[in-house]
Every structure is written in structure tokens, then in C-alpha cells.
Amino acid sequence: MISNKRLVLAHFWLAFAVFGLAILLGEWQMFIRSPLHGWLHNPDLYYRSVTAHGTVMGYVFPTLIAMGFGYAITELSLGQALIGRRWAWAGYVMIIVGSVAAVVPVALGLDSVLYTFYPPMIGNAFYYIGVVLVVLGSWIWVALMGINLQAWKRAHPGVAVPLPMFANVAAAYLWGWTAVGAALELLFQILPVALGFSNTINAGLARVLFSWTLHAIVYFWLMPAYIAFYTIVPRAIGGRLYSDTMARISFALFLVFSMPIGIHHLFADPQVGSGFKFIHSVFTAMVTVPTLLTVFTIGASVEIAARLRGGKGVFGWLKALPWDNPQMLALAFSFVMLGFGGAGGLINMSYQLDSTIHNTQWITGHFHLIFGGAVVIMYFAIAYDLWPHLTGRAMRDLGMIRMQLWLWFVGMIVTTFPWHYVGILGMPRRMAYYDYSAPGTSGEAISVIMSTMGGALLVVSAVLFLVILYRNHSASRVEPAPFTFSRAIHEPSSLPLALNGLGLWVGLMIALTITNYAYPIVQLMGLPDARVPAVFVGAK
Amino acid sequence: MAQTFSADSHDTAALSQRIEKRWALLMVSIIGLLVAVMIFTGLHWAMMPPSRVETIDPSTLHLSGEFVESNLGSAVEADGSVTVRVIGQQYSFTPQCLVVPAKTPIRFRVTSADVIHGMLITGTNINSMVEPGYISTFKTEFKQAGDHLMPCHEYCGAGHEAMWANVKVVDKDAFSKMAVNTRRLTCDL
Amino acid sequence: MNADRPRLISLRNPWFTASAGALSLLFVFSAWVGFVWLPSAQDDALFKGLLNAICSAAGAPRAWLGEASPPVPPKAPVSSVVLTPGMLEGASAGGSIGRGATLALRCTMCHGARGVSAANTPNLAGQYAPSIYKELRDFQSGARTSAIMVPMLAGLGDQDLRDLSAYYAALPRDSAPEMYPAPDIVATGSPMRNIAPCESCHGAMATKLGAPWLALQPREYLKSQLEAFAGGSRHNDISAQMRNIARNMTPDEINAAASYYTQNR
């Protein structure tokens, strides 16, 4: 039972509202730089749009989802009202204020620096301050998740922490620590220049600090989806979770391996030595382990559901699955996109293969497929599952829901596969327009048009999604059955200390951050030669 | 069918754990194999991303040192290899058109005069960030003659979309003839 | 120590020993490969020997050029101005506009009494101070040639140039009519010829340090300068920034760009 329904709904609705706006920007960007549109007469409009799209989709949208879902999980899995409700609202307000402070100067053209900041380009300070406020607001959530878990543990000594809360707090701690990198960059490098206290900045150091955030943030985006894999989908399709222990180990491994790998974004950078690049490459390989474990555990859980429904044979059980169930459909689509995206990711993480696709449209394709595809489709699924419990009204548009999920899946494939392809051809990302008539680039035109079409499908799907959620608020009232999470085949009666809390894993996460990041950061801090003049952007 | 799970709870738990362990071992082996491939290519072809750290002041590149304008482009070294020096700046590479010989060891020295740029050469695996304050040094060899595009691949400001350079790979002989008349070669107009 | 209560961080906790032990092994192994084994395949002198390899792989800054032919010096003088955001700041910054006004008396013949020229010379009113300063310095150093400007600047010191720049930057710009829509060459440039939109350095979209404000400059002046950049007779643009663009422009494009910025004056 959720007692703070308004808090959860407020987070979800704001998240989906900004998502709806940002996806329009995304599709506009794809359209205007495609051969379907002439060259934009003010290319800066494109870069403003990229900045806004990235800031909303990368920072605001997933953070709000994780927060709203986290508050719901706390109450549903622990069976206690949220401690710190007022603080939660304060965090929410900070995110709104921060988002507005960030997006207004971007719209005015004062901060076309993209959501990855890119010093020594420096824009108007309000953008950076806005982003800092969003992060601070989310840190309130991080603290609340930890506090609620501790309070519950004190009241229930010796009892196993419910898996959803274990995973949720893992996500919170992961975000709390991974956001530190970008926060250091913003507070100690960028803001002093943006506010006029300094004229120089070490761009190489800034990139290393940002990489601390940039990869682990992806796993933070991913966590709600994985929580849904483990704790919602098996229940929703009438199955059981194959292994509670494996689930905990997967989340623990995410905590450990998400952090010490960010330098794989900097393989092509001149300021990091080859030794650290290789170490990060190896650890990036390791971060696939929890995903591969998940694929097995969830695959087995789904098979259990099928066999419980009478499925037979080595593959015949697939037919017995409830394919008309949105959760089943979302999971299947998510896994397919995760599979393709993950395969592409293995190329990105490779110390040598990366050079064929670094910073090309391949990368854009990769993270849209993984995040926009595999992860966001599970955000939809989470919303569909929770909504009746939040509104107390029946979710009856099952046909529309299936249509929406299909559109998202097909749209994402059509959008991202051509992107991967043109990336291999060497098409750089983030350009306001391309000359498709040149001999070296004309082969890219048709692929880019296909991507744009796929993007249109995504917009239709997003609109449909918002309509479905909105219609639910005026559907007939029902008393939904009490919300439950998936049950494991073998529910844990007692757990080893390491799997009943996150202390060990947080400790290892911090330790590995030190081993893999401390030297590059300290060394670059000690290079006064590498401080370069700021280049201020924005019209004067 | 649900009762099958509770019947021999202890046995099925042990069984599922065994299967999981086997799966985990298999997955870790695959990862191990991938890492082994990386190590092999790193040793066998000496492949390494651009990682030779060196600093430089971007605001004084034009005053002295190896990145003065007259020293940019391709230089033939005593050992027959070629050093190519390039500056990235808003919104062009200088030189705009690189000319290099095929089948010759080539060493790139690239840096930025202002913001972060990047460079890739289409149809090759040459790909490097170009950052102010640092010099990117990397080695390569072009297998055959041909023309390539060299876009800036990192957002560098409102004119980023126009930052495209060209690379002409020419036969070794043709290159040697060109190198007779000038000490630094480019194919700029 | 209480032996009954299990402790998380303890050698008796197999979870701790296994995870910390495995991670330590993984780190040591990958560090050894990354810092010792892989560098051994590189032929650079700075990767030879254990200590060298480790320092290089760790990213300690070093001089990687090694054996190389000496730099080729420029044939003609190039700009010696160092453009940084704080280049015109300093102890003497205050009060220089007044001095600049006095010094500017010698400039009025060509550049107008209030920095707005009637002849084919640039309007200086409201021009960015760093841009004026850079050109003045380049005339002095010989990086930019002019039979008129070079003698005019003889005898002026660095502070004089700063004061002049500050004075002209402070004058109000000639009131501009609504600019008509920019032609393609100004608004979009031509990517494959590496012609960036003029506006991405000189205009409302973005302003690059050292790049001048071009609106309402005399048409003939703009045209002649673009042609001089294209032909290479003007070469005080740092690292060929402007020559790269101008030499790829067609005569028609040069005309179109010049006409746009003059607004057909």
C-alpha cells in the first residue's frame, strides 16, 4: 500500500512530461539534419536543442523515475510509511527549480555547451547551477533511501531485507557516489570560471572527472529497469523469481563494477595514460557479468511462468507465455534491445576496436538503444504496473498498451540500427547538418532518413503512452488487489551479512574508485601547464 | 504444478545453485576470452589508443615550437618515416588537406588551439580526441593510396558542423617527388 | 572482539575475502598487463625499460617527439598576439578610454570622428577591444601590412594600443537597420569545403575572441580583405583560421558575404 501516492505520482508525471517535451526536440533534431530538411540557417538552434534534450533525458527524466519508483518501493516492500516525506518534497522542488534554471539560459542560446559541458567552452552560470540543484535534489532521495532502510532494519533485526529495497538502495548509493565526479567538475572547475573568478581551466582533468559520472550514470538509469525485471515481471506473468540470491549478487556487482570503468569513454583522449585505459577496459568487461547473470535468472523465471501455465518442450514453453500481457511484451522487447545494445557495447569497451567508432553516430545509436530502448521501455512497464495502485482506477487499455510497446520497440530499432551503420562509415555525431551530396557521405542519406522515420514512430508511441496514463485518471474506480513483488522459488529466510546490506559493496565501489581514478585525477591536478584559457560561448 | 517447487525444497535449491554457478563460470570465461583477445591484439599489432601524455600551451602555439604555422603538415624524417602535425581550431584543421604516403610509418602530432575537438579519418581506425593543453601523439600506416574525409567529431561550437578536412594518401614515389621542393607538405589549395 | 556477532569486514567472512581478494587479483593482473606487458610491444624509447614503461603508461607527461627534423621557421612574420580572455585586463585598464580618445585624434581622418567611417575604411565604433588591439599589434609587428596604418602606429607603445582599443570599443555602434536574411554562405557556410557559417565566429550566434564584429563595415573593405586572405597576401590570422575559409569561397560567395554585412551600403 502506498501512503504517499501524490509524492510518487508527482515524480512520475513530471518525469513523463519532460520526457514528452524532450522527445519532440530529439525528433526535430533528427529531422532538420536529415536530407528531408535544408541546412538550418541558425545551427546554434540545433546545439541548444541537443543541450536541452540531453540534459532532460540524461539528468532530469531518469532521476525522477528512480526517485518516484524508489519512494514507492520503500513503502511497498518495507510496509512502512516513508520517513522524511517533507524532505522528499523539498528534493522534488529543487529538481523543478534546477531544471528551469538550467533550461531557460539554454533556450536563450547562452549555454550551447551540450549536457556533457565540454570545458574550456563555458556558458552562462545558471545552466550549471541548475544542474547542480538537480543533483542536490536527487541526493536528498539517496539519503532518504538509506535512512528508511536503516530504520526498517533496526525494527526487524535478523530479517532479510526485501529484494526490491536492497536493489533500490543499491541504485541510490550508486548514484550518490557516481554523481560526485560531475559535481566536482562543476563546483571546482566550471563554476569558478562561469562566475568570473578564473579564466583558465584544465579541460583534460574535467573530462576525467566527468567520465567518473558518465558511465556509472548509465547503470543508475538502468537500475529501475532491472528492479522491474526481478521484482515485477515474474509476478505479473504468473511466475516465480528463479533465484533471490543471484538477484542480490547482480545488484551488488553493479555497485562494484559501474564505477571504476568510466575511462573507457576516454580511450581516444591524450591526457590519460594507456595503462589506466587498459585497466578500465578490463573492468568494463566485468560489468557485463551482472547483466549476463540477469539474463539467465530472468530467462529461467520466465520459463517457470510458462511451465506453470502448462508449457512443454525445450522451446515449446515459449508459446505458453502470456504474450498479451504488457509486462511480458515489455520484457521481451527490452531483452532484445539489451542484447543488440550490449553486443555493440562490447565493441565500445574494447581498448582497440573503440577507435573505429569512437564519437561517431554509432555511439548515439548505442546509448539510445540501451537507454532509450531497453531501459525506457521498462519505465513504461513500471508505470503501467504501478498506475492502478496510484490512482485507484482500472487500467483497461490493454490493446493500446501493447500497441504503444510495439511502436516503441520497432521505432527504436529503426532509429538506432541505421545510426550504428553510418557510425561505421565514419559519420560524426552532433552536427547540425551534413552535406549528403559529397562523394564521401552520400551513402549515408538513406540511413539517416530511416532513422528519422523511426524517431517519428517513437514520438507517436510516447504520445500514446501519455494518453494511456492520462485516461487512467478518469477510468472506473477499482480496489486493486494489494501490490506484491515477485516471490522467489526459495524465499530467503536468513541471508549472509554481505547480501543483507550494502556496506561491503559500497566499500568495494569506493576502493576501486580510488585504485582506478585517484592517480589520473591527482596527476592532472598537478599539471598547471594544462590549464587553458576558457572560451566563452553565448551571443553577446 | 506449484507443489513441485516445495516438494524437495532443499534439493531444488542446491540444484538451481549448481546451474547458476555453471552459468556464471561460463560467462566469466567468455569475458576472460574477450580480455585475452584485447591483450593479444595489443601485443601482436602493438595497438594502443592515443595515450602519450604531453602538455602544451594552446594560446602560444603560433609563436614558437613545432606547431608554428610554417611547420604544420607532413615532414619527412631522417629514418624515412613521416611526422604529420595538425592544429584543430574553431572551425578548421590546419592544414585543411593532409597529404601522406602509403606504406610508410606515420606519426601524428595533433593539438588544439582553443576548445576540445576530435578527429577521425574515414575508412581507417584513426580516431583521436584533440584537446587544448595536450598533444595527441599516435602512430599509423596507410595501406593504400586513396582519399579520405577527416571530420571533427567532437562538438566544438556553433560552427562544428563545418569542420571537415581531407586526407590524400598518395604512393610513396609520388610523395617523395612532392617532398623534393618543400620541407612541409600539405594539399591545401 | 565479540566472536559471536558476525562481522562484515573480517577475514572470517568468506564474502569479504572472496570479493576483495578477487578484485585485488583482477586489479593487479590488469595493472601488470596495462603497465608492463602491453607497453613492451611499443617501439617508443619512452616505453623501454620497466620504470619508463610504468611512467608512460600511467600518463606522466613526457616529451614524445624524440628524433625529428627541426621546425621550419615562418617565411613572413605571423601574428604574435596571444589571445586569452584576460588579455586586456591589468593594472592599467582603468581610465584608458580618455587617453584613447586623445590618441584617436590621429585616426579621425579615415575612421571618422566617432569611429564611423565615411571612406572604405573599417568602422571602429563598438568594435570588440581585443579585435582592434590584435590588428594594431599585427600592423606594428609586420604580420599585417598597410602603407597607411604602419606609419600611423609608429611610436605608439603597448599601453597606447590598449587605450585606443578601449576607446573605440566604448563608442556606440552605428545604429543598424534590421538586417535582411543572411545568404546561405553566411548562415550555413559549406561544410565539405570547410566553410563555417560566418556567424559562428563573427556574429549573433557566437563570438570568437579576436574575431571582429562585421556588421555595417564598408563593402569594398570586406571584399578586399576576404580576397587578401584567400590569396594569402593577408596572413595575420592565427594558424590560418581565416585563410582556410576564404580560399575555399567562390568570388560570388565573397561578394554575397560582403554585401550582406554592408547591408548594401
3-state helix, strand, coil in chain A (%, to 5): 70, 5, 25
Q: Which of C8, C43, C58 is the last residue of a domain?
A: C58
Please state the ipTM of this predicted complex. 0.93
Residue A510: is its pLDDT beyond 80? yes
Instruction: Tally Cβ neighbours within 10 Å of residue C52.
Output: 16
**Count of domains observed in chain C:** 3
Q: Tell me whether residue A215 is one of the annotated catalytic residues.
A: yes
Q: What is the residue range of C240's domain?
A: 184-262
Q: Which of residues 100-119 of B touch C (CB under 8 A)?
A: 109, 113-114
* Nearest-Cα residue of chain C relative to residue B46: C41
Q: C206 or A4: whose pLDDT is higher? A: A4
Cβ neighbours of B125 in A, within 8 Å: 352, 355-356
pLDDT for res B6: 46
Shortest Cα distance, chain C CAs vs residue B124, angstroms: 19
Residues C165 and C206 in one domain: no
Q: Tell me whether residue A368 is one of the annotated catalytic residues.
A: yes
Residue C258 lies in a domain: yes
* CA–CA gap between residue C33 and residue A153 (Å, rounded): 43
Residue A539: is its pLDDT beyond 60? no
C247-260, pLDDT tens digit by residue?
999 999 999 999 99
pLDDT for res A495: 87
C18-51, pLDDT tens digit by residue?
999 999 999 999 999 999 999 999 989 999 999 9
CA angle A177, A183, A188 (to 5 degrees): 135
Q: Tell me whether residue A366 is one of the annotated catalytic residues.
A: yes
Q: What percent of chain C has pLDDT over 70?
A: 94
pLDDT for res C177: 67
A363-401, pLDDT tens digit by residue?
999 999 999 999 999 999 999 999 999 999 999 889 999
pLDDT band, very low/low/confident/very high, at A336 (cuts 50, 70, 90): very high
Residue C43 lies in a domain: yes
Residue C81 lies in a domain: no
Residue A47, class by beta-carbon neighbours within 10 Å (0-12 exposed, 13-18 middle, 19+ buried)? buried
Mean pLDDT for C208-212 is 93
* CA–CA gap between residue A135 and residue A176 (Å, rounded): 9
Q: Tell me whether residue A429 is one of the annotated catalytic residues.
A: yes
Residue C179: is its pLDDT beyond 80? no
pLDDT band, very low/low/confident/very high, at B2 (cuts 50, 70, 90): very low
B21, B62, B84, B164, best to mutate vs chain C, most C CBs in 10 Å:
B62
From C29, C59, C86, residue closest to A199, measured CB to CB: C86
Q: What percent of chain B has pLDDT over 90?
A: 84
* CA–CA gap between residue A79 and residue C37 (Å, rounded): 54
Architecture of domain A5-536: Up-down Bundle (1.20)
A455-509, pLDDT tens digit by residue?
999 999 999 999 999 999 999 999 888 999 999 998 888 889 999 999 999 999 9
Q: What is the pTM of this model?
A: 0.95
What is the dihedral sign for C-alpha C151, C157, C162, C163?
negative
Cβ neighbours of B72 in C, within 8 Å: 239
pLDDT for res C88: 85
- Residue C168 backbone dihedrals phi, psi, to 5 degrees: -65, -35
Residue A61: is its pLDDT beyond 70? yes
B69-125, pLDDT tens digit by residue?
999 999 999 999 999 999 999 999 999 999 999 999 999 999 999 999 999 999 999
Mean pLDDT for C196-217 is 88
Cβ neighbours of B135 in C, within 8 Å: 64
Mean pLDDT for B133-150 is 96
pLDDT for res C38: 94
* Contact across the interface for B49 and A242, Cβ inside 8 Å: no
Residue C140: is its pLDDT beyond 90? yes
User: From the candidates A11, A48, A207, A215, which is the catalytic residue?
Assistant: A215
Residue C244 lies in a domain: yes
Chain B neighbors (3+ CB pairs < 8 Å): A, C
A250, A441, A504, best to mutate vs chain C, most C CBs in 10 Å:
A504
Whether A507 and chain C come into contact, CB under 8 Å, resolves to yes
3-state helix, strand, coil in chain B (%, to 5): 30, 30, 40
Residue B8: is its pLDDT beyond 80? no
Mean pLDDT for C60-79 is 91
A273-314, pLDDT tens digit by residue?
999 999 999 999 999 999 999 999 999 999 999 999 999 999
Q: Tell me whether residue A264 is one of the annotated catalytic residues.
A: no
Cβ neighbours of C190 in A, within 8 Å: 435
Residues C194 and C156 in one domain: no
**Which residue in this structure is represented by grid cell 536492497?**
A166
A164-215, pLDDT tens digit by residue?
999 999 999 999 999 999 999 999 999 999 999 999 999 999 999 999 999 9
pLDDT for res C265: 52
* Contact across the interface for C84 and A42, Cβ inside 8 Å: no
* Contact across the interface for B77 and C67, Cβ inside 8 Å: yes
Task: Return the C-alpha cell found at C145.
Answer: 601590412
Q: A44 or C93: whose pLDDT is higher? A: A44
Cβ neighbours of B129 in A, within 8 Å: 266, 268-270, 359
Residues C255 and C221 in one domain: yes
Residue C107 lies in a domain: yes
Q: A298 or B181: whose pLDDT is higher? A: A298
C25, C30, C201, best to mutate vs chain A, most A CBs in 10 Å:
C30
Considering chain B, what is the average pLDDT of its residues? 92
What Rg value do the Cα atoms of chain A yield, rounded? 23
Residue C32 lies in a domain: yes
* Nearest-Cα residue of chain C relative to residue B38: C38
Residue B4: is its pLDDT beyond 50? no
Residue C14 lies in a domain: no
3-class SS string, chain C: CCCCCCCCCCCCCHHHHHHHHHHHHHHHHHHHHHHHHHHHHCCCHHHCCHHHHHHHHHCCCCCCCCCCCCCCCCCCCCCCCCCCCCCCCCCCCCCHHHHHHHHHHHHHHHHCCCCCCCCCCCCCCCCCHHHHHHHHHHHHHCCCCCCCHHHHHCCCCHHHHHHHHHHHHHCCCCCCCCCCCCCHHHHCCEHHHCECCCHHHHCCCCECCCCCCCCCCCHHHHHHHHHHHHHCCCCCCHHHCCHHHHCCCCHHHHHHHHHHHHCCC
Residues C258 and C192 in one domain: yes
Residue C201 lies in a domain: yes
The partner residues of B73 in beta bridges, in order of sequence, read B85
- The CATH number covering residue C230 comes to 1.10.760.10
Residue C222: is its pLDDT beyond 80? yes
